[in-house]
Amino acid sequence: MHKLHAAPVSIDASVALDFHLTNSFEILVELFAGKMLMSDFVKNELPKTMDLRETTIVPLANTTEWELLEKLKKEKRGLGLGEIGAIVIAKTRDAVLLTNDKLARNAIQGMGIEVAGSIGVLEYAVESGRMQSEAAIELLRKMILQGARISNELVTNFEDRLRNKKKTEVRKLSVQAEKSAVVRPEQTS
């Protein structure tokens, strides 16, 4: 089962903006309805007009959360409050962290937090049948035009994976079609 299938997600500004700026936040809503968490520190970084439907804004309220925030703030000086807030929520709510930020991804190593970025979300959208491969590739390109920071290598790998998957599916379908074509005369006789 895909890691994004069951668990809640804690989304940070990088991924939220990728989808918002390409007018595709709806995809996040469809994929993660009812389980999309956002630290209020992340919300504070985003445009006030952003539509955050189906997103639960989570404040940091208890001592454990503040202690983790304090620890990360001291140890990971390159991270902002938003990224730290997203990590704290992911850790304390057993959520998958959604971020493209390299530093945030490095920071959670050893913390037992699963992570995915915009690419991971798009792959999941294709896998779960909510998007076609070509549409996902096109959307990723739009995100990059809007300032998404995703390395060329990751983009190429993503495109290759989706195209290979598509070829495999087409091949499977044609094999199935061939089989049924062979079987059909016997069935009709």
Binding footprint of another protein on the chain (CB under 8 A):
12-14, 17, 21, 39-41, 44-47, 59-63, 66-67, 69-70, 73, 77-83, 85, 101-104, 147, 149
Toward another protein, which CB reaches closer, 63 or 188? 63
Which token pair is 75?
A: 């140890």
Cα torsion 91, 146, 123, 162: sign: negative
State how far the Cα of 63 lies from the Cα of 68, in Å rounded to an integer: 9
Cβ atoms within 10 Å, residue 106: 11
Toward another protein, which CB reaches closer, 79 or 139? 79
CB of 120 vs another protein, minimal distance in Å: 18
Toward another protein, which CB reaches closer, 86 or 126? 86
CB of 129 vs another protein, minimal distance in Å: 31
Toward another protein, which CB reaches closer, 81 or 155? 81
State how far the Cα of 149 lies from the Cα of 33, in Å rounded to an integer: 25
CB of 148 vs another protein, minimal distance in Å: 9
Cβ atoms within 10 Å, residue 90: 29
State how far the Cα of 82 lies from the Cα of 37, in Å rounded to an integer: 13
The radius of gyration of the chain's CA atoms, rounded to the nearest angstrom, is: 20
Which token pair is 106?
A: 């490095």
CB of 91 vs another protein, minimal distance in Å: 15
Per the CB < 8 A criterion, the answer to whether 69 and 91 are in contact is no
Residue with tokens 């061939």: 178
CB of 62 vs another protein, minimal distance in Å: 8
Toward another protein, which CB reaches closer, 122 or 148? 148
